[in-house]
Amino acid sequence: EIYRMTISDGLTAVANVRALHQFLDREVARSRRYGRGLALLMLDIDHFKSINDEFGHLTGDYVLREVAQLCNRRVRREELFARYGGEEFVVVLPETTLDGAVTYAETLRALIEGHTFTFESNQVSVTVSIGVSTFQADMAGPKDLLRSADERLYQAKRSGRNRVTA
């Protein structure tokens, strides 16, 4: 129980940053060793600050939990969904190509956009932007993969939000 608490996010009950780094270390080593695909999605809730400002932090917490549950239901046992920080989440997809990861990301984006978020009779519109990257042989390690997905996430944000960029 104590170990589970050290690798789970208290608010969303999904993996936390510590668990993410442990998982990524293993998967990057495996990808490098066997030459297998490894994709990473970085997902950020669009205009999250305005949700907190307009509806309050309890609604913001509800949105975080609901997004986490929606996404986590789509994740298979060999994959990992983790809260990266604030309103950012990461999905690690072993043995996945860039095309497969983009399709997966688009499925998550549409799922969240189409979901009805209702908290204390307030209906909140929620969308996400997603950056997609794959591990490349010239990357030094997990930090490079995270940085690459983060750059693509910010491209999605700059180009209008509620989109997937690879």
CA–CA distance, 107 with 92 (Å, rounded to integer): 15
Tell me the CB-side half-sphere exposure of residue 1, using CA atoms within 13 A: 0
Cα–Cα distance measured from residue 80 to residue 57, given in angstroms and rounded to the nearest whole number: 27
Q: What is the pLDDT of residue 16?
A: 97
| Rounded Cα–Cα distance for residues 159 and 156 (Å) | 5
Integer Cα distance of 136 and 145 in angstroms:
8
Residues 62, 66, 68, 70, Cα dihedral to 10° = 180
Average pLDDT score over residue span 121-147? 97
- Kindly name the residue from 27, 79, 87, 151 that is annotated as catalytic: 87
Residue 3's pLDDT is: 78
Average pLDDT of the residues in 124-132: 98
Q: Is the pLDDT of residue 76 over 90?
A: yes
87 catalytic? Reply is yes
Share of residues in the chain with pLDDT > 90 (%): 96
pLDDT at 2: 80
pTM of the model: 0.95
- Dist. CA 158–CA 84, nearest whole Å: 20
Distance of CA 26 to the CA centre of its chain: 18
pLDDT per residue over 17-66, tens digit each?
999 999 999 999 999 999 999 999 999 999 999 999 999 999 999 999 99
